[in-house]
């Protein structure tokens, strides 16, 4: 391939909205061009990268017996009503919806559980046809609240989504393990440093899930992990050993004390020097939303710990939780913000407490009266007994739930997510097969996603330097470029053509930079574009000598024309 025939336009300046290296570099090197917020055009070089990554994905999934299909992007509302997800996705605002000319509602697929379940159940009647695993690589549409970071969080993006269908849980466990293995091979092959973490299942639902995280400072997810035990979890899901707190002792009579203007845990600690935060229970009011109702929920947490809102949504089986407004708090508790508590909490407010408060005695709490707090509150005696759930946000430094060693924290970019769905969708949608016992039985399903546009961007996040991108060989748009520096010198063109042909014959994915540019501009362009190995044919062409540059580390060597192929292959690790 000749670069003169490829549309390549590098920029001098970073785009104004680029906050992270991969976005900055992909835009400046001309790989992506913004069409609208969160909507990008992939230039020819980017499309080569995406196709190479997609090919790795295909090869590894095919090895596990998955079938590639192509589902429609436009999906009818009825399928989403059958699974019960239409309202949630519409309420979240994540779904692009549209109406056809007859007024029927449809959406642009944000994910394809419904369509795939409908398709497979129309094809599979008997357990004899199972297991089945189908995938596709296609654009997905999500009207993200904050599209940003270039390809990392787009509103239109490419996803590989796979769905497994088995007769029972044991079959699902096996399908899941196969996909997990395939994912490891995929991310190993494309040269990113990743970890697999326990994850929350979010709006997709199901019984368990793991995320594949590329470790990078720009990651939007926080991960807690332990080197000793191998425990790793998204902070949304993570647990830790409960940090110690001073014991409360034998129950004492409750006392109400004036605490004017003392509202926060820090202020209370200053006001009551003998009551460390670990002996307090703070109460936070949330507005929880379900499909058909909204309720105020009071959530109690030990004063030194934080609430994990993802765990809270799950505990309530709600669509969403938001901090209650000051107005709602005053209306519900009769007190100013900062004095809410379990004591005298109106009955219509749901009361939940974190497990850390179970069996705690003599707590310091709010009592829903402006300017007062209570000491020696004993739940169930002085206040309603709350429902106890794990609502705690685990933090770095706390003990690993397995080894007890301090957990460490890292930032991660979610590039893949695998779920055991069980029968959530098949049961809701009436997707059944005839089991061996002759009974119609819902499929045991798994679903599996990979960010096909996000992963290459994550690779750039991990592989770049201050000069530009440093593509990992397996997903580089070309493995090698041969560039002549002066197009007026026939011997340079001739030698470059010769080396280009030899490398092609040796099986190197090579391009020829035959563009009419100054040598300085060519060097700069290639630093930015980041092809792994670069051969420059310049003034010494007449002596049969060229310069070979390895993009990673920018190491240069001069070598004779006879050595070039061997050296390029060695640099590519072949």
**By CB under 6 A, which span of 61-69, 282-290, 355-363, 410-418 interacts with ligand ATP?**
410-418
b/e 146-174 (16+ beta carbons within 10 angstroms → b): ebbbbbbbbbbbbbbbbbbbbbeeebbee
Assess contact for 507 and 566: CB atoms under 8 A. Answer: no
Toward Mg ion, which CB reaches closer, 213 or 357? 213
Among 40, 86, 157, 286, binds ligand ATP (CB under 6 A): 157
Toward Mg ion, which CB reaches closer, 412 or 442? 412
Residue 170 CB, shortest distance to ligand ATP, in Å, is: 25
Among 366, 416, 442, 472, binds ligand ATP (CB under 6 A): 416
**By CB under 6 A, which span of 13-21, 169-177, 190-198, 449-457 interacts with ligand ATP?**
449-457
- Residue number of the CB closest to Mg ion reads 417
Toward ligand ATP, which CB reaches closer, 298 or 450? 450
Determine if 153 is a binding residue for Mg ion (CB under 5 A): no
CA-CA distance, 155 to 145, in Å (whole number)? Answer: 9
Determine if 85 is a binding residue for Mg ion (CB under 5 A): no
Toward ligand ATP, which CB reaches closer, 202 or 544? 202
Assess contact for 231 and 345: CB atoms under 8 A. Answer: no
Number of residues lying near Mg ion (CB under 5 A): 1
Among 454, 463, 526, 551, binds ligand ATP (CB under 6 A): 454
CA-CA distance, 97 to 28, in Å (whole number)? Answer: 33
DSSP state of 217: T
Q: What one-character-per-residue DSSP string does 515-554 give?
A: ----HHHHHHHHHHH--SEEEEE-GGGGGTEEEEEETTTT
DSSP state of 280: B
Toward Mg ion, which CB reaches closer, 287 or 417? 417
Residue 451 CB, shortest distance to ligand ATP, in Å, is: 2
Pick one of Mg ion, ligand ATP, none as the site partner of residue 496 (Cβ within 5 to 8 A by kind): none
| Joined tokens for residue 469 | 């991108």
Determine if 328 is a binding residue for ligand ATP (CB under 6 A): no
Residue 509 CB, shortest distance to Mg ion, in Å, is: 32
Per CB under 6 A, which of residues 59..118 are in contact with ligand ATP?
111
Per CB under 5 A, which of residues 378..437 are in contact with Mg ion?
417
Toward ligand ATP, which CB reaches closer, 202 or 208? 202
DSSP state of 370: T
CA-CA distance, 400 to 408, in Å (whole number)? Answer: 9
Number of residues lying near ligand ATP (CB under 6 A): 17
Determine if 371 is a binding residue for ligand ATP (CB under 6 A): no
Among 15, 191, 202, 404, binds ligand ATP (CB under 6 A): 202
H-type alpha helices, 103-217: 113-123, 169-189
Secondary element (H or E) of residue 416: strand 408-422
Sort 21 into a burial class: Cβ within 10 Å, 0-12 / 13-18 / 19+. buried
Assess contact for 384 and 342: CB atoms under 8 A. Answer: yes
Pick one of ligand ATP, Mg ion, none as the site partner of residue 263 (Cβ within 5 to 8 A by kind): none
**Binding characters for ligand ATP, 126-155, by CB under 6 A (x = yes):** ----------------x-x--------xx-
DSSP state of 568: H
User: Hey, what's the torsion of the CAs at 155, 161, 167, 173, to 10 degrees?
Assistant: -100
Which residues bind to Mg ion, rule: CB under 5 A? Answer: 417
The site for ligand ATP (CB under 6 A) is made up of 111, 142, 144, 153-154, 157, 159, 202, 204, 414-417, 449, 451, 453-454
């Amino acid at each position: 391939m000749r670069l003169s025939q490829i549309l390549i336009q590098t920029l001098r300046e970073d785009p104004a909205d680029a906050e992270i290296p991969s976005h900055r570099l992909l835009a400046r090197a001309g790989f992506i061009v913004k069409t609208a917020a969160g909507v990008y055009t992939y230039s020819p070089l980017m499309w080569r990268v995406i196709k190479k990554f997609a090919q790795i994905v295909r090869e590894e999934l095919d090895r596990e017996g998955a079938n590639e299909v192509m589902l429609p992007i436009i999906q009818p509302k009825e399928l989403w009503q059958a699974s019960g997800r239409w309202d949630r996705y519409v309420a979240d605002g994540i779904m692009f919806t549209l109406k056809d000319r007859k007024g029927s509602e449809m959406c642009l697929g944000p994910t394809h559980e419904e369509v795939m379940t409908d398709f497979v159940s129309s094809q599979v009647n008997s357990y004899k046809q199972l297991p089945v695993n189908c995938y596709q690589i296609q654009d997905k549409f999500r009207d993200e609240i904050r599209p940003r970071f270039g390809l990392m969080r787009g509103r239109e993006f490419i996803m590989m989504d796979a769905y497994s269908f088995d007769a029972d849980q044991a079959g699902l466990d096996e399908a899941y393990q196969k996909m997990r293995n395939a994912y490891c091979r995929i991310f190993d092959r494309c040269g990113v440093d990743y970890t697999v973490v326990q994850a929350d299942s979010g709006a997709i639902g199901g019984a368990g899930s793991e995320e594949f995280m590329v470790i990078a400072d720009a990651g939007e997810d926080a991960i807690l992990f332990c080197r000793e035990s191998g425990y790793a979890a998204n902070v949304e899901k993570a647990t830790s050993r409960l940090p110690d707190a001073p014991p409360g002792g034998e129950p004492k009579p409750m006392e109400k004390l004036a605490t004017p203007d003392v509202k926060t845990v820090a202020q209370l600690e200053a006001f009551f020097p003998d009551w460390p935060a670990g002996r307090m229970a703070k109460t936070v009011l949330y507005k929880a939303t379900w499909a058909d109702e909204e309720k105020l929920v009071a959530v109690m947490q030990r004063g030194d710990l934080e609430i994990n809102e993802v765990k809270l949504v799950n505990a309530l089986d709600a669509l969403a939780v938001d901090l209650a407004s000051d107005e709602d708090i005053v209306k519900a508790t009769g007190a100013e913000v900062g004095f809410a508590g379990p004591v005298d909490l109106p009955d219509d407010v749901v009361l939940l407490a974190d497990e850390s408060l179970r069996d705690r005695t003599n707590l310091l709490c709010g009592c829903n009266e402006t300017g007062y707090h209570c000491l020696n509150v004993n739940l169930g005696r002085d206040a309603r007994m709350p429902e106890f759930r794990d609502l705690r946000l685990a933090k770095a430094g706390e003990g690993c739930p397995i080894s007890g060693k301090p957990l460490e924290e890292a930032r991660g970019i979610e590039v893949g997510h695998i779920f055991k769905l069980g029968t959530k969708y098949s049961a809701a949608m009436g997707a059944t097969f005839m089991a061996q016992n002759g009974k119609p039985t819902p499929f045991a399903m798994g679903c599996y996603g990979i960010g096909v546009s996000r992963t290459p961007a994550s690779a750039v996040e991990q592989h770049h330097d201050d000069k530009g991108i440093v593509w990992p060989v397996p997903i580089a748009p070309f493995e090698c470029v041969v560039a002549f520096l002066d197009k007026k010198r026939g011997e340079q063109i001739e030698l470059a053509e010769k080396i280009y042909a030899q490398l092609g014959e040796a099986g190197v994915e090579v391009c020829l930079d035959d563009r009419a540019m100054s040598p300085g501009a060519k060097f700069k362009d290639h630093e930015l574009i980041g092809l792994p190995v670069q051969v420059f044919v310049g003034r010494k062409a007449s002596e049969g000598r060229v310069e070979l540059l390895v993009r990673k580390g920018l190491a240069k060597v001069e070598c004779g024309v006879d050595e070039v192929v061997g050296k390029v292959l060695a640099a590519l690790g072949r």
